[in-house]
Chains A and B, each alone.
Chain A
Amino acid sequence: MGRSRHLLVAAGISAAVLSTGAALTYYEGALPTTLNPLYAAKMVDYRAQELVFDRLWYHSPINNELESRLVQSWELTEGGKGIKLELASGIKWHDGKPFTADDVCFTVKAMLDSGTPSPIAEGYRDILAGCTPESRSTAIVHFTRIVHNPRERLGFSVLPEHAFDGNTAISPDLEFSARPTGTGPMKGSRGTRGVTFQSFANGHHSPQVGQMQLQESGDPLLAIKALINNSVQGIIEVAPNFRADVSASDELALKSYDLRSWWFVAINSKKAPLDDRRVRQALNFMLDRTELREKSIGVKPGERNSPCEFISGPFVPSSPYYNRSVPAVERSDQGQAEALLKEAGMEKVGGRWQFKGQPVSFRMGMEKSLDNEAPDILSYISNQFEAAGIGSQVYKIPPDNWTTEAITGHLTDYDLLVGKWSFGQVEDVNELFYTRSRGKGTRNIFNYSEQEVDRLLAQYDVAKTDTAARDAYHKLHRKLAEDLPYLFLWKLDTKSAWRTEVKGNTIAPYYYFTQFDSWRYEG
């Protein structure tokens, strides 16, 4: 090794750098858009922010207890419409300033401030009414109504008042988004190439990993080779076709990451002929999901404990909201598809379907990063449509355009969009199917609007009992399986891969790094 080290120095990499303790480096599919918790747009944002901030209350990943590192004791006040928080002492912000009740109330006020255009704050505005700091260590949070389990509703990250000099209108492009000040176990700073985390021992945190680095994994093959080669110590989302390599290695451990995700093909029901429900149902029968799954994800039919299970509605099959009386279309049924298209006024000329004399051809897009998890799925879908006589032009959409244009309903010149949604404990799908208006239906991809669906979603929102809410979503499931704004494909589990030198790496559902204090890296 002597010759090459000498050459390394010649190549400009100083030997000193090589000998210092290496940082624990892990790959994410993409870099976080922001480290400001109010503007988390993707799952990678949530995971990175969990290292830098403390949520007021969180669920322990081990026994799911509702715990808080910031609140020492609490009691209900104002007859249940308020909760008085006695804060823990000895907690500092990453810049050394003390954590006080003013910070908690500043965060609540910032979320309620209309100058903070954050979709996440929007969610809290109909629950939180305000906050009054009684003393440096006591704050009272006011709710708009009496709620069950009030602590469950206070899962937001607390922001430092002094970092914004008290201005509660927080805009996404402040320097805070790249260099935040939090109370979490790690002090984070977003560089151009990744995010660097530095441990910050605190009254309520004692991280054992000194330095950590988040990198963006471009090529999945390079990522797995780098992991096997110990150039990187972890990969957050391992694509199904690489999981066997990880399981077969002695130096790697495949860890489960509890994230409820399901895949879909959104249909532009505003554009003819897709505005006709029978056409959408025909497309649903044209897709052979079993073949799609086998070819792109590699799951054989009938395989037990498969990470990928078919769905017929907007929920994962194990969820109580899933209407189990609505079967998934596992195999294609060309006969039924043809009958429906004929009924919708189309005719097949020379093996190609025509609508009003024009050959039917759809423009289909997919978020590019899904190609890593299900390689070539877009081509397989378009080939299946092609075989059934429907033409298609297919495009891969940059991840960034997906966030800025697809989700916000701007890609209206597309006919079909392949995507995926991820959920935590809350499986509220109102934002996906509600008619898009101010504050509602913010993720309604093709601005789908259907009266019956809006009624059911409203019924879910105002349901006074669980049974009413569940019935509403069961009916919604059946209605969507019939009206098909989406072709529902499947749910797919997420797995992470970490080297065995990383110990005590308990992975929390959805937020991932909640138990980071127990992580150790003996690299």
Chain B
Amino acid sequence: MICPNRWWAGLLLLAIGCSPPTVTSPDPAGSSADPGPDSVAADAAIPGGLVGSAWPVRMSDDALRGPFESHSGWAALLMQRDYPAALGAFGGDAPLAVGQARIHTELAAAYRQALRVGANATVQVYGENRRDEDPAAVDCLLLVSYVLLGVDDPSADRLQACQRSELEGLGPHAAAWDAWRGSGAWPPSDALAVTAGQPGPPTAGAMPDAGPLPHWRAVDLVEGLEVQLASPAGLLGLALFHEQAARAVYPQGEAAISAMLAPWLLPGEPAPAVSDELEVPLEFLFGSAMLVPADLSFMVDVTRGSGAAAVDTWKDRSAFASTIAPCVDVAGGAVDVPCVIENAGRAFDQLRTAMEIRSGGEQGYHRPFAELGRVGTIRAAEAVAEAMGDEQAMGLLRLNALDLSIGTSAEPHYLLSIAAWDAGNRNSSRASDALHAQVGHIPGVEVARFPLDALHVRLSRESAPGVPMH
């Protein structure tokens, strides 16, 4: 309760019952007064042993944080999520291989999500909302999109319909992807060979774009106006380029790179094995939404392994698993959203308290670092809800995570994954905002813009009349 504490104000308002101001900001929840680096608070979300090993707490040690803080690459990555600047800085005079690998891996994940945005938008606009004006060429893109999304195509003769389009290179492109469907071969080199905009051989520090766009220019069947088309598959080449560049520049991090990529893989991709003793360098964790190496393994297990059952498996080793465990009813197949948000808040407080104790006082970076822990926890619960098929909880958790993903927590690949989910839900406004935010920073994501723009125009022209408001 803030009350004016100036003497004359107090005097003036004595009769209104203004007592001297009490401390307004309550002590961080769960913190006990007695020191002890990792003392277990009463309502701990993260087990005491794990808190100390979380990267935000480890990074409260000035000696450990020093080299990161002084390197412009980490500042560009963490403060601005600016990949080109960070990649340039890591490739500078004393190249930091692990840093480069980290950026390339995140780019590999981001391009995959951009691909899903394009594929979902193509399915929604030309699949769910087909209009007479749409040229035959869209059937080819629909085919490729269904293949990339691992979704069965409702129409059996999609390929024949596609062949009717005489656009140069489009038929073979669709046929190649149709051939690859179900073959299980990865990477789909033959299909990629007939996909436009393929980058050259992977080289560390390079950020190629998606080549000339649009891939094809068709004509609409009613007014005869130009329709610009682009195949989402164009982004797979870029994703693989960065994945291979990461593996090439940091060969020892093979397992870590695979684990980091696992939650973002496309349906057709083989999943990496879930390893108990995963070696993850601090450079991969620093500034990410994963607190401890076991969190990576937990996320791999949830998204590509045993699904919701992973919560019990990793409850004692992964910070996320232990935090969300009380809120997940594996048998009932439901996630308690308020409980997750409450526990994520407790984990946030726990991390800040531990960081404060470790660095001997409140520091500016404590809040943003702990915020990443909170966002990561909610995103983990979201993945568990998705694995269990609890759509409502997954949606609510995504909205909460989206609200927190601002400033230093705005990880591009996560934001693009939300855009992909929105595109699939025909929420073209939010999807185009999220995609637009990355255009100009991640070269080539404009490929996904062609189908998304078409979806947005179609939806906005066919909704209830609206007037500009002020």
Touch between A and B in complex, CB under 8 Å?
yes
Q: Give the nearest-CB partner of A125 in chain B.
A: B465
Chain A 91-127 interface residues, beta-carbon cutoff 8 Å to B: 119-120, 123-124, 127
> Per-residue CB proximity of B225-239 to A under 8 Å, as 1/0?
111000000000000
B163 at the interface (CB under 8 A from A): no
Selected from B80, B129, B464, the residue in CB contact (under 8 A) with A155 is B464
| Interface residue A167 (Cβ < 8 Å from any Cβ of B) | no
A10 with B15: CB separation less than 8 A: yes
Which of A1-9, A136-144, A210-218, A356-364 sits within the interface?
A: A1-9
Question: Cβ of A347: which chain B residues have Cβ within 8 Å of it?
Answer: none
Which residues in A have their C-beta under 8 angstroms from that of B422?
64
Minimum CB distance partner of A258 in chain B: B430
Do B467 and A431 touch (CB < 8 A)?
Answer: yes
Q: What is the 8 Å Cβ interface bit string for chain A, positions 475-500, against chain B (1 contact, 0 not)?
A: 00000000000000000000000001
Interface centre among A120, A253, A318, A423 (most CB of B within 10 A): A318
In whole angstroms, what is the CA distance A423 to B453 when docked? 17
Q: Which residue from B26, B337, B460, B462 sits with its C-beta under 8 Å from A148?
A: B462
Of B111-119, B265-273, B391-399, which binds chain A? B391-399
Task: Identify which of B2, B222, B426, B457 contacts A229 (C-beta below 8 A).
Answer: B2
CB contact between B468 and one of A64, A250, A421, A503 (< 8 Å): that residue:
A421
Min CB distance A148 to B, Å, is 5
Contacts of B427 in A (CB 8 A): 59, 63-64
Kindly identify which residue among A156, A305, A463 contacts B437, using a CB–CB cutoff of 8 Å: A305
A403 to B429, CA, bound (A): 27
Q: Would you call A232 an interface residue if the criterion is a C-beta within 8 Å of the partner chain's C-beta atoms?
A: no
Query: With A304-B81, A305-B406 in contact, is A509–B469 under 8 Å at CB?
Result: no
Residues of B close to A147: CB separation below 8 A:
462
Binds B, one of A76-84, A333-341, A372-380, A465-473: A465-473
Chain A residues touching B, range: 35 or more
User: Does A420 touch B at the CB level, under 8 Å?
Assistant: yes
Name the B residues within 8 Å of A153 (CB-CB): 462-465
Bound Cα distance from A63 to B399, whole angstroms: 10
Residue B466 at the chain A interface, CB threshold 8 Å: yes
Complex Cα distance, B222 from A41, in Å, reads 38
Q: Least Cβ distance of A523 to chain B in Å?
A: 14
A11 interface hit (Cβ, 8 Å): yes
Which chain A residues in 28-49 approach chain B with CB under 8 Å? 40-43, 46
Chain B interface size, under 10 / 10 to 19 / 20 to 34 / 35 or more:
35 or more
Other-chain residue from A248, A425, A464 in contact with B466 (beta carbon distance below 8 A): A425
Interfacial residues, chain B to chain A (CB-CB below 8 A): 1-2, 14-19, 24-26, 28, 80-82, 129, 131, 133, 220, 222-223, 225-227, 337-338, 341, 345, 367, 391-392, 395-396, 399, 402-403, 406-407, 410, 422, 425-427, 429-430, 432-433, 435-437, 441, 452-454, 456-470
**Beyond A149-B462, A304-B82, 4 extra complex contacts between A and B, CB < 8 Å:** A1-B19, A7-B16, A127-B465, A318-B437
Residue pairs across A and B with Cβ atoms less than 8 A apart, 23 shown, are A4-B17, A8-B16, A8-B17, A10-B15, A40-B469, A42-B470, A43-B470, A65-B425, A153-B463, A153-B465, A155-B463, A225-B2, A228-B24, A229-B2, A318-B436, A320-B452, A426-B464, A428-B465, A431-B468, A468-B222, A469-B461, A470-B453, A506-B396
Which residues in A have some Cβ–Cβ distance to B below 8 Å? 1, 3-8, 10-11, 40-43, 46, 59, 61-65, 119-120, 123-124, 127, 147-149, 152-156, 225, 228-229, 247-251, 253-256, 258, 260, 304-305, 316-321, 367, 402-403, 407, 419-429, 431-432, 442-443, 463-471, 500, 503-504, 506, 509, 518
